Structure 1
């Protein structure tokens, strides 16, 4: 059965980077929000609005073999330059390419999918699970499958000092921090995350 993508969870701005008790933080990436699902070995990256993006991202399709059966991930598509900075303009260029042009550009400016949430695991909808359980399961998938490029596990922390350190990384393309309640379910209609 093919997965019907959910509307992605969104965030609301907060005035400061304070990490409250009962919350976790992740870096906020300068990329393109996407959901990735795999059904019967076919990977489908979709934009936040539901547009399929596989023709522009052949390396994401090629990476499907690393994933377990029937997962769905929420994350950010990014491209890094040779200096290790996020190159959003190159990602935008990538999304306009198809066919042989997409393959050539993938070799020069490979896209990566930074996974920060798990929406389905082995066909089981995980959106009703609390974030801490989804996060632990996502980490287990990365460890058990030894996932590597194009897949990247987004860091997560409950340590306020680590959050402050991340906020000094603007020069490499980080856009700040994202905060998630450890006991929160994945509810797109509610802006339950904070940025």
Structure 2
């Protein structure tokens, strides 16, 4: 492979800001795996945000890249799986599997798409030093007519359109909006773009804790629950960003609430030792607590019935009854189809019940 920009390379990053700035180029914030695609003839590589290759997990995109992309190019984008219900990040996570047979099966069952949003090189020309306005125009021209696997993300310089995307597209699985300065060059591993994400709060019952790595007297994370309409307590996520001194204080404060799994809403956890699918050596077992404490957390959006990302501690709510921590309190985002703005995006049918 001989390209003006060679792998590995760290993608350009974004920093969070509370409002959408004026005078930029705006794009929907796709919820997938950030990736830079390198193609030099029959050689195709997909790098990740941490510069590790994703190529083996998406064989269908390797094949599609040879059919749809220019012969020699380097393109920044996002690998996603799209369904009629919106972007399916859980299906995307299942693709990262050590068994080639399962990867190939999922590639056929839930094919991914690549959403392109920046151009680093085309043929022998490097574009990294060019302003984003130039890179965007060249990207749109280079990928004109591509599809169904490779598509260019919608973009606008109209602030009112960006605000509408922010409000309407969340229900389709978008994270928010990205704002890019029109005059800036491509800056690997630098936070020169802006991301505007939804921020909400929820009151959750604290149902357990995990110990801090390497310590037996400090809390690593608190397990959060919300009550369903039938009265059962659902596991919705964790919070864990505490100073070490506070972690030790929490450990002492929580001991009176420690209980057994026999008396806990999540009895199943006592029968099955939980480990991470992504790190077999990571123990996800926890200490059960009577769900008597309520904590207010900040979150961006839900994925199914769980927080999509790790929630952030806001404050304790001693005035709240844990039983009042229900799903009904959560704000329901507006629902719009992602195909309204990307009509040609490849549709993947979600697996039916009983399928992998």
TM-score norm. by structure 2 comes to: 0.51
Shift of residue 84 of structure 1? 4.1
Matched-pair contact (CA < 8 Å) for 2:9–2:51:
no
CA distance in 2, matches of 1:189, 1:106: 30
Corresponding residue of 2:101: 100
Shift of residue 125 of structure 1? 1.4
Shift of residue 99 of structure 1? 2.5
Aligned with 2:94: secondary structure? helix
Shift of residue 189 of structure 1? 4.7
Shift of residue 67 of structure 1? 1.2
Give runs of aligned pairs for residues 132-147 of structure 1, distance below 5 A.
Answer: 132-143=133-144, 146-147=145-146
CA distance in 1, matches of 2:85, 2:42: 31
CA distance in 2, matches of 1:166, 1:181: 18
Given the alignment of the two structures, is residue 172 of structure 1 paired with residue 175 of structure 2, yes or no?
no
Aligned with 2:157: secondary structure? coil
Matched-pair contact (CA < 8 Å) for 1:69–1:123:
no
Give runs of aligned pairs for residues 71-90 of structure 1, distance below 5 A.
Answer: 71-81=73-83, 83-90=84-91
Corresponding residue of 1:45: 46
CA distance in 2, matches of 1:161, 1:97: 44
Shift of residue 40 of structure 1? 3.2
Higher Cα Rg, which structure: 2
Corresponding residue of 1:163: 162
Q: Which moved more, 1:96-105 or 1:161-170?
A: 96-105
Corresponding residue of 1:57: 58
Give CA-to-partner distance per residue, 1:47-83, whole Å, 9 cap, x none: 11111112110111101222112200111110112x2
The count of residues paired between Structure 1 and Structure 2 equals: 190
What stretches of structure 2 of length at least 5 have no aligned partner? 196-356
What stretches of structure 1 of length at least 5 have no aligned partner? none
RMSD: 1.4
Task: Flag the structure with more relative contact order, 1 or 2, with Cα contacts below 8 A and sequence separation at least 6.
Answer: 1
| Greater per-residue helix proportion | 1
Shift of residue 4 of structure 1? 3.1
Distance 1:86 1:79, change over 3 A: same
